[in-house]
Structure 1
Amino acid sequence: MNHLQDVPLAKAYLLLNHGPSTLVTSEHDGVANVMAAAWVMPLDFDPPKLMLVLDRNTWSRHLVEGSGAFVIQLPSRRQAELTLTVGSNNGGEMDKFARFDIAQGRARKIAAPIVEGCLAYLECKVIAEPHNQDKYDLFIAEVVAAYADERAFSNGRWHFPDDELRTIHYQAGGAFFATGEAFQVSRG
């Protein structure tokens, strides 16, 4: 956690715009959960907002609706097995943090745990949109804190120093791919 640096909120979207898999943590009435989520995207710059699809049958949805907050985390390649594990188990049936011995800390501005060792964190407060939530399972949230591992994200850009510090993308059936090499093009 000592490599974390703040990301200006107006630039928080840069943490998500390459489409990585995420972990979502939430807590309500002293009960916490972590789940994997692939459908997270930036929505706005100022104030920064994002959208999260959170199926009504998930335990996390119950916690998010109760607390009005959650944390989006970007796991690294070395956390792919953890991502698959938490995405394949129901938090309503077990304490995933205890069962899978997940190292955790606390979010800075909201009441929720964070998974230690992730590459980036976006702490979010839900903007109530009952129609979207009920009909489409779509949650809109304001990002109230953003921070990232400076070894992989600094000066507003991702730069992956080694294969283990790359974000991941989930396909299906346990298959992931790691974010590839960055390259620059000039406008013509």
Structure 2
Amino acid sequence: MTAALPATLHALDLRHAHRLLNTGASVLIATAHAGRRNLMACAWNMALDFAPPKLAVCIDKATATRALLEGSGVFAVGVPRAGQAEMVFRVGSMSARDVPGQDKFTAFEIAHFPATRIDVPLVADCIGWLECRLIPEPAVQQAHDLFVGEVLAAWVDERAFADGKFRPLHDTPPDWRTLHHLGAGNFVVPGQQLQAGR
């Protein structure tokens, strides 16, 4: 069945095409190397493989995070919760160069604890954390700013994630739901759950 084009359909400027896909959970990327550490927000991230688990994150050449990651070969991915939206926005809106003499953990008083397999701080009160080892792909990193990591350890908070999956929304406190960035500081959190296949 062919449908007529709706009158509300309009061409999208290609500069904004990524925003149609970029509504997955935002994450925090923590790095540390040679006595320095940094934290950035990242909306461009995805899972890649099951065994061993792998993921990909996009990190621009101009970021301090990228220099630390390339120096250490490790990074941590934190999955922030809705209750951390202000902190995620702050660390995502500011460069490490904007806080001279300190880092974002110190400048924004971000509580953290040490990772277990890598020497990187993990942001406290996240839904979960992935400790990763960089799988070097120099050509891909240079051409596309895309970094692949193997997950060495994973941790979750049972208030949001239990038995290998996210808890049902009716059983998850609202400030423990995932955070999805829409652009310009606007976030959404899951507010309705649908069950298919019954």
TM-score class, shorter-chain normalisation, is 0.7 to 0.9
User: What CA distance in whole angstroms lies between the structure 2 residues aligned with 1:59 and 1:123?
Assistant: 19
Q: CA deviation at 1:121?
A: 0.3
Checking the alignment, whether the CA contact within 8 Å between 2:75 and 2:120 is kept in structure 1 is: yes
Question: Match of 1:102, as an amino acid?
Answer: I
State the match for 1:172 in structure 2.
Answer: 183
Is this contact kept in 1: 2:159–2:173, CA < 8 A? no
SS at match of 2:97: coil
Structure of greater relative contact order (alpha carbons < 8 Å, 6+ residues apart):
1
2:28 aligned with 1:20: no
For residues 136 and 69 of structure 1, what CA distance do their matches in structure 2 show?
19
> In the alignment, what sits opposite 2:13?
none
- Give the 5 Å matches for 1:97-136: 97-136=105-144
Give the letter for the 1:118 counterpart.
C
Moved over 4 A (4+): none
Q: C-alpha distance in 2, partners of 1:44/1:139? A: 14
Unaligned stretches of 5+ in structure 2?
1-22
Which structure's CA Rg is the greater one?
A: 2
Unaligned 5+ segments in structure 1 are 1-17
Cα distance in 2 between the residues matched to 1:30 and 1:181: 44
| Residues 1-188 of structure 1: pairs in structure 2 closer than 5 A | 19-94=24-99, 95-159=103-167, 160=169, 161-186=172-197
Partner AA of 2:128 in structure 1: A
2 CA distance for matches of 1:130 and 1:100? Answer: 33
Residue matched to 1:4: none
Instruction: Return 90-99 or 122-131, whichever deviates more.
Output: 90-99
Post-superposition offset of 1:91: 1.2
- TM-score, structure 1 length as denominator? 0.87
Give the secondary structure class of the aligned counterpart of 1:79.
helix
Letter in 2 for 1:125: R
Q: Distance in 2 between matches of 1:182 and 1:48?
A: 27
**Counterpart of 1:176 in structure 2: which amino acid?**
F
Give per-residue Cα distances to partners, 1:1-48, cap 9 Å, x unaligned. Answer: xxxxxxxxxxxxxxxxx9200000000001010000001100000111
- Report the number of matched residues: 170
For residues 63-122 of structure 1, the C-alpha deviation after alignment (integer angstroms, 9 at most, x for no partner) is 000000100001111100000000011113421111111111111111101110100101
Identity of aligned residues (%): 43
Q: Distance in 2 between matches of 1:126 and 1:175?
A: 30
Provide the alpha-carbon RMSD of the alignment: 1.3
SS at match of 2:62: coil
Secondary structure of the structure 2 residue equivalent to 1:109: coil
Q: CA deviation at 1:179?
A: 2.3
